[in-house]
Amino acid sequence: MKIKVAEEVKKALAEGKAVVALESTIISHGMPYPQNVETALRVEEEVRKNGAVPATIAIIDGVPTVGCNREEIEKLGKAGLTVTKVSRRDIPIVIAKGLNGATTVASTMILAEKAGVKIFATGGIGGVHRGAEKTMDISADLDELSKTNVTVVCAGAKSILDLNLTMEYLETKGVAVIGYGTDELPAFFTRESGIKVGYRMDTPKEIAESMKAKEDMGLEGGMLVTNPIPEEYSMDAKVIGEAIDKAVKEAEEKGVKGKDITPFLLDKIQKITGGDSLASNIQLVLNNARLASQIAVELSKLG
């Protein structure tokens, strides 16, 4: 099975130009229609504005696709939660059955690497879930970061997670965690968590040079760039904390687990906050696409 790479993306890669991968779970599972499609297209436009070529990744009718067109994005957005959420384990099944699949951080990294795309912008990564000492619920995103050669730009780990354990797990797996203009791990909806990152870097060029050094050394695995949500869109920590606690409690009462937990919690939090969390989510994704594009441009200059 070959990966379908959009002509624009293929041409940019062949010419050594900047390309930024984008996930598709945010389209099908992260937001309601039509905001999901509108946001996906705005994110692609943000990538272009900053000098790079966007490559939205998904599985379309069983075909791994790097660089979805507008029709394919619309298809995923309208289908919403009925689209299969695809992590590493799901890729062969969705391909074999000819299904549509929305890629998570882990599967987007895999397909991006196979196509030759080195940097990927998302909202927030998965991580160690609250209560993982009992449930062992740990996102496949973290293992993928330890072995797949793609740099991920995010607004930190989603604040519905156990952020301390997430950072410990990343450290154990040998993943470099970089704070862009910050010494702290951003907490998705808020800029601060009180948890230190491994390294602080203040320019896209610094990050690109680190990526190049890692590649030149032949070191396996990705790097994680954590980019705080813009100040004006950051939510009140107390408000979002109470909303998360309420949503987590409801998930426990309803027995929501596994791959269903994150979309369930994000939907509940959006409703509890009267849509404020959705507005913040959109802005942080745009902000991450902007930074990823700037890093990709700097990386392309290094050859």
Catalytic residue set: 23, 158
Tokens of 15: 């010419």
Instruction: Decide: 10 and 23 in contact? Cβ < 8 Å.
Output: no
**CB neighbours of 225 closer than 8 A, spacing ≥ 6?**
151, 152, 153, 154, 178, 180, 201, 207, 291, 292, 295
3-class DSSP state of 292: helix
DSSP state of 195: -
Tokens of 123: 């909202």
Sign of CA dihedral 231, 241, 166, 23: negative
Tokens of 96: 């074999």
Alpha helices, H only, the chain: 7-14, 25, 35-49, 70-79, 91-96, 105-115, 132-135, 140-147, 163-172, 204-216, 237-254, 261-272, 276-302
Instruction: Decide: 282 and 35 in contact? Cβ < 8 Å.
Output: yes
Buried/exposed code over 155-193 (b: 16+ C-beta within 10 A; e: otherwise): bbbbbbbbbebbbebbeeeebbbbbbebebbbbbbbbeb
Q: What is the C-alpha to C-alpha distance for residues 62 and 39, in angstroms, rounded to an integer?
A: 24
